[in-house]
Structure 1
Amino acid sequence: MDARLPEPLPPLHALLAFEALGRLRSVAAATRELRVSRAALSRSIMLLEHRVKLRLVLRYSPAVALSTAGEAYFRAVQRFALGLADELQALSPSAVAELRVAATPGFARLWLAPRLAGLAHRLPWLRLRLSVSENLADLAGGEAELAIRYCEAVDPPFEALPLWRDEAIALACPTLASTARLLSPAALVRELPLVAHPSFPWRDFAPEAEGRPLLICHDLVFVLEAAARGDGIALVPGRLAADFGRAHGLVQAHERRVPARRYQLVAPVGALQRPAARAFSGWLLEEAASTMAE
């Protein structure tokens, strides 16, 4: 029988320093979040490696790289840190739980931002840390716990909750729209000025015609602003752009609608069981249902 006593846990400050460094994969970002100096962060990591007798960090620059053991230990430390936060929130009404969510730029600016006041009223104990990106790397790297994406199927180790399937529609200022409504889809694409987002190409609207947009931009809000100025007709996701269109006087320029992909809440398998994630996803699904009903 082994009579040795179990090793005590490493100091909490060292564990939290490693969690931030592993999640953000950046020394600068980790020091900003923790509000410590680079030297203090380095000392915490060195202490942790000494205590666990493992090399956890292979490289600090240009990007942080963890060893195989470091990756495994990071996942365990992150579960530990999230569990502490969740239990504290459950026990104390004044405690705040943080949830890291990534969203596409268009979704964040056009749909989510106008509803954040409602989220704060519904879940006052939830602090949302929102990042804007177009890919799933933020989930795989642990930078976000949930992500809102414009996609169809997702592969393991991720799962998805559908929010809604959108349709691409042509939006324009009233002057351009009045002309566009007199034209066939092909004539509209050939004869009128167009602006475009790469996810909603005009060839989907009129496959038989070759359009030459004046502007192609990955920023959906910029595309809509150009349409509001009268620079061209924009092909955009109708439900996502509805609030902006009403606020800026844009109208549907043609009756044709183009089937598009889903907006979905994507998470690593099991992540939606965390109380903060479960509460946020419930609110998000209710808001999405309201959007579908409009």
Structure 2
Amino acid sequence: MAFRLPPMHALEAFEAAARQQSFVKAAAELCVTQSAVSHRIRQLEDDLGVRLFLRLNRNIVLTPPGEAYLASIRSALADIESATRAIAHGARHELRVSVAPAIGSKWLVSRLADFQRQHPAVDLILSTSTQLGTIRSGEVDVGVRYGDGQWPGLASFKMSDEVLVTVCSPAYPARVGGLDEPVDLARACLLHHPILPWRPWLEAAGLDWPEPAGGVRFDDAVMMIEAAAAGHGVALCPRRLVEPHLEAGSLMQPFAVAALDRGYHVLLAPDAPSRPSAMAFVHWLLAAAQPASPAGGGGAG
């Protein structure tokens, strides 16, 4: 059967005016003008064929039919709101997220339970990549990448500045005759990642050396970190990524020098800003990336 119902905006105006006992206050609550509230209620009264309010100067009072109608309308509106909340809460939202491998495995995964607790209706589909094509095409909704923030055509938010540090296994310095000063790196095997040049750190350490050409190169920061922990050399990497190793004692910082570098950014597919689930993940990421103490930073590939 077809339902013959008054306009919802008229019912909302009637309920608000009855509760507030004022057209002015109802208009403020509904973010419309007083004349709009008056017009909607008058339209409702005309449709019903009864007066819902007595207008006494600037005051309004419900008529007996108005009081009876209000009781039923409030109950119906409460049922509609309850049903809406239930179905919205139960709806599942799929969110495709692409992260650079190291930040994904070394930082993000251990924190995902917090996002899932806050947003239980969002189903995350995670993948790893350093490319931008899947973000530009909309194949994924949100990406996390390391760089300077210059990605034309893509909206992005910087998660934090990153701090680069040198790390090695606790046994490694003794194997190369000690790493007491940065200049001692001349006798060490340096581990390289393509987007983390050594030159900025060397300058921070007071060494006027060119970019080192020797050593071992990795296209995956996770492999580089594991190689350093296995005693294969000294790696330059974001502190954020190696904090678990430093706390566990599988890696150490031979020098106190740190260099401020670029940072991780959250990138959005073209239609992602209009999706509440995508923006909820972005806001959560930005909050989670903030250091809990002054000591923090780091991130790459």
TM range (shorter): 0.5 to 0.7
| Distance in 1 (alpha carbons) for counterparts of 2:86 and 2:236 | 45
- Cα 1:244–1:276 change in 2 (3 A) is farther
Quote the offset at 1:89 in angstroms.
9.4
- Cα 1:142–1:90 change in 2 (3 A) is farther
Aligned partner of residue 93 in structure 1, secondary structure: helix
Structure 1: stretches of 5+ with no match in the other structure: 1-87
Q: Say whether residues 1:106 and 2:102 are aligned partners.
A: yes
| Distance in 1 (alpha carbons) for counterparts of 2:262 and 2:184 | 24
- Cα 1:249–1:126 change in 2 (3 A) is same
| Distance in 1 (alpha carbons) for counterparts of 2:281 and 2:133 | 21
Aligned partner of residue 153 in structure 1, secondary structure: coil
Paired residue type of 1:182: D
Quote the offset at 1:188 in angstroms.
2.9
Structure 2: stretches of 5+ with no match in the other structure: 1-83, 203-207, 296-301
| Distance in 2 (alpha carbons) for counterparts of 1:90 and 1:211 | 60
Conserved 8 A contact 1:100-1:128: yes
Aligned partner of residue 289 in structure 2, secondary structure: helix
Quote the offset at 1:285 in angstroms.
1.5
| Distance in 2 (alpha carbons) for counterparts of 1:292 and 1:89 | 38
User: What is the aligned partner in structure 2 of residue 94 from structure 1?
Assistant: 90
Q: Say whether residues 1:122 and 2:112 are aligned partners.
A: no
Per-residue displacement from partner, 1:160-215 (whole Å, max 9, x unpaired)? 111011021101112335765412x3x23321122121112233333515635432
| Distance in 2 (alpha carbons) for counterparts of 1:181 and 1:90 | 62
- Cα RMSD for the two superposed structures: 2.5
Conserved 8 A contact 2:107-2:240: no
Q: Say whether residues 1:251 and 2:252 are aligned partners.
A: yes
Aligned partner of residue 119 in structure 1, secondary structure: helix
Aligned partner of residue 154 in structure 1, secondary structure: coil
| Distance in 2 (alpha carbons) for counterparts of 1:121 and 1:246 | 26
Q: Which runs of 4+ in 1 moved over 4 A?
A: 177-181, 291-294
| Distance in 2 (alpha carbons) for counterparts of 1:273 and 1:293 | 34
User: What is the aligned partner in structure 2 of residue 260 from structure 1?
Assistant: 261
Conserved 8 A contact 1:197-1:220: yes
Higher relative CO (Cα under 8 Å, sequence separation at least 6) belongs to: 2
Quote the offset at 1:248 in angstroms.
5.2
Quote the offset at 1:270 in angstroms.
5.8
**Residue among 134, 141, 157 paired with 2:137:** 141
User: What is the aligned partner in structure 1 of residue 148 from structure 2?
Assistant: 152
Larger radius of gyration: 2
**Residue among 159, 180, 188 paired with 1:163:** 159
Q: Say whether residues 1:223 and 2:219 are aligned partners.
A: no
Paired residue type of 1:242: E
- Cα 1:94–1:159 change in 2 (3 A) is same
Q: How many residues are matched?
A: 205
Paired residue type of 1:245: L
Identity score, percent? 29
| Distance in 2 (alpha carbons) for counterparts of 1:89 and 1:155 | 38
Conserved 8 A contact 2:136-2:270: no
Of 174-183 and 225-234, more deviation after overlay is shown by 174-183
User: What is the aligned partner in structure 1 of residue 171 from structure 2?
Assistant: 175
